[in-house]
């Protein structure tokens, strides 16, 4: 199941209206059930477009993760410390400082509710990669060529389009190819079901 196209002019909700503003985010629940309202979510995934020197908008204080896709970000903390977040490196929050783009870049941000087990995984793809069972996976092939294998079924993974992979605890998924991939892992086992009913 496709989660929606990634190119700026095709992201759901249209392009950002100002530098750094997030395109309309994808959001959902750990179970895969459709959210019942705009605040009924366990995770939010957004794509930001930053010009050189632009600042990534500061979000709420929920736990979160960010990764730059094209060029590094410079992270400045309120305590005076700063560090570079390299391309495809993932930083985990909450974030209380500033993030500035060294060069023009796209940035993916993930917001998660307290207690929800979700993470971004950005990495080179060199040959086969097995994905653990017990989680929902979204795969975004940033560059290169790859295919997904699920049991005896194979299909190509499209470039620049995030795609939900089949959710089946009985069979492991495998991604095989070469390039760069960004994965969203959502693990329902890491959440207390009683907590899920009260989120949002």
Say whether both 128 and 99 belong to one domain: no
What's the pLDDT tens digit per position in 77-125?
A: 777 788 899 999 999 877 777 889 989 999 998 888 777 788 999 999 9
pLDDT in tens, 124-182: 999 999 998 888 888 999 999 999 998 888 999 989 888 888 877 778 889 999 999 99
Report d(CA 88, CA 124) in Å as an integer.
9
Relative to beta strand 105-112, strand 117-131 is unpaired
DSSP string, 97-124: SEEEESSSEEEEEEEE-TT-EEEEEEEE
Q: What gap in Å lies between CA 70 and CA 82, rounded to an integer?
A: 20
Residue 199 lies in a domain: no
Give the burial string for 52-62 (b: 16+ CB within 10 Å, else e).
eebebbebeee
Give residue-wise pLDDT tens across range 39-73: 667 788 888 889 999 998 765 555 789 999 999 99
Is residue 6 predicted with pLDDT exceeding 50? Answer: no
- List phi, psi (to 5°) of 189: -70, -20
Q: Which residue reads 């299909």 in tokens? A: 155
Looking at per-residue pLDDT, the higher value among 155 and 17 belongs to 155
Domain co-membership, 130 together with 174: yes
Q: Which domain holds residue 157?
A: 117-190
What pLDDT, on the 0 to 100 scale, is given for residue 34?
A: 61
Give the model's pLDDT for residue 32.
61
Does one domain contain both 32 and 108? Answer: yes
Domain co-membership, 102 together with 122:
no
In a domain, 148, yes or no: yes
- Does residue 98 sit in the same domain as residue 75? yes
Cβ neighbours, 10 Å, residue 14: 11
CATH number at residue 52: 2.60.120.10
Q: Select from 112, 145, 170 the last residue of a domain.
A: 112
Residue 19 near residue 50, CB atoms below 8 Å: yes
**Torsion, CA 35, CA 95, CA 5, CA 155, rounded to 10:** -90
Q: Would you mind telling me the total number of residues written for the chain in this entry? A: 200
């Amino acid at each position: 199941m496709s989660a929606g196209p990634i190119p700026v002019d095709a992201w759901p909700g249209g392009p950002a209206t100002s530098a750094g503003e997030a395109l309309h985010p994808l959001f959902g629940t750990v179970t895969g059930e459709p959210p019942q309202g705009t605040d009924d979510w366990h995770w939010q995934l957004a794509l930001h477009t930053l010009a050189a020197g632009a600042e990534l908008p500061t979000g709420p204080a929920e736990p979160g993760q960010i990764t730059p896709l094209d060029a590094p970000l410079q992270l400045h903390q309120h305590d005076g410390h700063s560090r570079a977040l390299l391309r495809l490196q993932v930083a985990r929050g909450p974030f209380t400082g500033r993030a500035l783009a060294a060069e023009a870049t796209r940035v993916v941000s993930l917001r998660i509710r307290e207690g929800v087990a979700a993470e971004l995984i950005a990495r080179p793809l060199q040959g086969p990669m097995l994905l653990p069972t017990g989680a929902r996976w979204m795969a975004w092939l940033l560059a290169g060529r790859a295919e997904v294998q699920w049991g005896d079924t194979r299909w190509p993974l499209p470039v620049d389009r995030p795609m939900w992979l089949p959710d089946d605890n009985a069979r492991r998924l495998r991604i095989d190819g070469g390039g760069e991939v960004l994965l969203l892992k959502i693990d329902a086992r890491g959440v207390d079901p009683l907590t899920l009913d009260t989120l949002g």
